[in-house]
Chain A
Amino acid sequence: SFELTQSPSVSVAPGDTARISCGGDEIGTVRVNWYQQKPGQSPLLVLYHDVYRPSGIPERFSGSNSWDTATLIISRVEAGDEADYYCLVWDTESVHWVFGGGTKLTV
């Protein structure tokens, strides 16, 4: 079954671009979803099926997925983007949903 690997932390300066990766064997063959979780809050879907933004999510959030790595890209990072970010995929082999371990973004 899928195992997703995320770096524990990423640190960027305000205005820079943050890249948060989610690694998995042939992850490029499945659709990846991304969630933002701020302290004390429920998770928020920020990107689904690799590249689609739900309504209300800024265009600064984008994504890519190829080969063994999916990436959440946050452009022009703001202090309000500081949060934990999780990737999620559906493993068709095990018929399980699988979350990555999460990445703490520090701005």
Chain B
Amino acid sequence: VQLAESGGGVVQPGRSLRLSCAASGITLIPFHWVRQAPGKGLEWIASMSSDGNNEYHADSVKGRFIVSRDNSRKTLFLQMNSLRGEDTALYYCAGDRGGGPFEDWGQGTLVTVSS
């Protein structure tokens, strides 16, 4: 599975941003969003089942971020609302190909929340 994130950039606090993750290869699989603040560890953000019927969000983003997918376009999305400075991070998407979880990763897209 090849994954390519896009949509990152610099955004003011309180504004919104939508990230995309384009997939190729085996795509009807569970997908996840993981972020990494500068110099920090990995933080799981959200997951969505292969059929899109089940979604899970970390407490730190629940109510602000929404994960979704369009299987016809082989794309995973992360709608990020009410952005805060602490949301500044490199955002990765990852997929479960059938072995272990988070088996395939993209290169990440950088989100900077700053006025």
B102 lies within 8 A of A35 (CB) = yes
Q: Tell me which residues across on chain B come within 8 A of A33, comparing CB atoms.
A: 100-102
**For residue A6, which residue of chain B has the nearest CB?**
B41
**For residue A94, which residue of chain B has the nearest CB?**
B59
B65 in contact (CB, < 8 A): no
Q: 1/0 per residue B38-50: CB within 8 Å of A?
A: 0001111001000
What's the tally of chain B residues with a CB closer than 8 Å to chain A? Answer: 21
Q: Tell me which residues across on chain B come within 8 A of A37, comparing CB atoms.
A: 42
Of A13-21, A43-51, A70-78, the segment with at least 4 beta carbons within 8 Å of chain B is: A43-51
Alpha-carbon separation in the docked complex, A34 to B107 (Å): 18
Q: List 29 A-B contacts (CB under 8 A).
A: A33-B101, A42-B92, A42-B105, A42-B107, A43-B34, A43-B105, A44-B105, A45-B102, A47-B100, A48-B99, A48-B103, A52-B100, A54-B99, A54-B100, A55-B99, A84-B41, A86-B41, A90-B101, A96-B59, A97-B32, A97-B44, A97-B47, A99-B34, A99-B41, A99-B43, A100-B41, A101-B41, A102-B41, A102-B42
Q: In the complex, given contacts A45-B99, A48-B100, what are 16 additional A-B residue pairs having Cβ atoms less than 8 angstroms apart? A: A42-B105, A42-B106, A42-B107, A42-B108, A45-B101, A45-B102, A49-B100, A52-B99, A96-B59, A97-B101, A98-B44, A99-B34, A99-B41, A99-B44, A100-B41, A101-B41
Please report B residues at the A interface, Cβ cutoff 8 Å. Answer: 32, 34, 41-44, 47, 56, 58-59, 92, 94, 99-103, 105-108
Please report A residues at the B interface, Cβ cutoff 8 Å. Answer: 33, 35, 37, 42-45, 47-49, 52, 54-55, 84, 86, 88, 90, 95-102
